[in-house]
Chain A
Amino acid sequence: MKKRVVVKFDKCIGCRSCEVACAREHSQKLRTEERITADTNKPVSRIAIKPTFSDPTECEELKPIKGQSRNDIKTGKAYPIRCRHCDDPKCVEACMSGALMKNDEGVVVHNPDKCVGCWMCIMACPFGAIKRDVKNKIIVKCDLCPHRETPACVEACKTGAIIFLREEEIPEWGE
């Protein structure tokens, strides 16, 4: 049974709990605080909450939006950027080392041992969902937390903006 992460942008308040949860999940040491305060090898979140510009004419002067949480998103609406595990993943097409592959469950998986840091995938992903780990010369991106029942970001999201659904549940839910 294939499950997918669904993001309901309207519900995101920009609290960034998902970022912390993701970074923590993907750090080798369990104690996030340690990793975050350490100078080297900071844990990297595979999800990023960024502000949008709701109206292009407002690019210069952005207004805070109502009901926004206290965080650094002072402009525009909060928007989670993460890998969508596309049906026709352009990153996989571009990956010349075979580090990125789409598996039988539809997950676009990345093998850091094979990655050579050529950034071909970054060039190809239209969502800008891939980050560089410059120090290790590899990329990082959402892996849907293969070792967990529910992805860390989903579990951390308390507003229901990021949810995990079975594929067949998605159309009913969409608006």
Chain B
Amino acid sequence: MDHALAVLVGLFIALGVYLLLSRSIIRMLLGVTIFGNGVNLLIFTAGRLTREVAPIVPEGLDHPAGPIANPLPQALILTAIVIGFAMFSFLLVLAYRAYQGLDADNTDTMRVAEPEDAPRPPLSY
């Protein structure tokens, strides 16, 4: 199971990187999301996969009765999902605004901040 998930993580990250190398911002956004999900799966796998019960302590005991599933990676992933979603939403709105303001979805034509005909270095002293 671990091996299958490791391969899946690799696929996710490869796909994310492939999409991030695109010039189209929408594809880059999809790439960021897929990459992030690959990382979340990686954390999940790193926390050791077990077929156990939820980590709930029964009434009257001060520790779980038997083996339990590791709750920490799930908490980490939950945090990462929330943060990743917030970032994704911002970038989505930014991409839309950039499309409106710069009339460009192609990163190659976004040359306002770094003009293509860059001036020569000043030669005077």
Please determine whether chains A and B interact with each other in the same assembly.
no
| Residues of B in contact with A (beta carbons under 8 Å apart) | none
